[in-house]
Structure 1
């Protein structure tokens, strides 16, 4: 019988942790959500819809989403030429996840914020 401890390989990351590394960064779910509601979007359209996102951050998130296979970047040959972003099949599979997050937020976050605002108005 061996007297040394058995060394196991590092465990694989938890699926939730692995997903959070991709979609848990600021602006990422919002970008995917906006692309779910349109076939293609230009960078400036996304930036305008997201309001407040830094152009460098948006570029970084779009590149990361492209690298992860969630977003496709297409160079459109028109005058003037431009780039459009759309979701891949992998990205579109996040639709039910985003819908569930939205439902959860409506039940638990938005209602709590409304209650807090009403309470603040009553005590003011």
Structure 2
């Protein structure tokens, strides 16, 4: 509950627990703009699926900026910006960027090949 002791700065919590608390705070805040920075990076696969469902609900009706290295986090994005050395090098939808065959496609293929090998 709200009175549970978690230590100074949440030191008694795992990374995944801290991420889930941050997502819960975002639900409670109900802000019109949501920024998710590697929101599922510390979660195991089962927890990631649950959290992604909650995030999908949280994003409804909001401007959402997702900072991600996992391509699975980008599947519902309307527009993706690819950064390299602090510069936008590509932009478009997931389908457009994959079809383009540029930096995004290269990074995507590297990650997908790692997962399937």
TM-score in terms of structure 2 length: 0.26
Higher normalized strand content (fraction of residues): 2
Higher normalized helix content (fraction of residues): 1
- Higher relative contact order (Cα pairs below 8 Å, separated by 6+ residues): 1
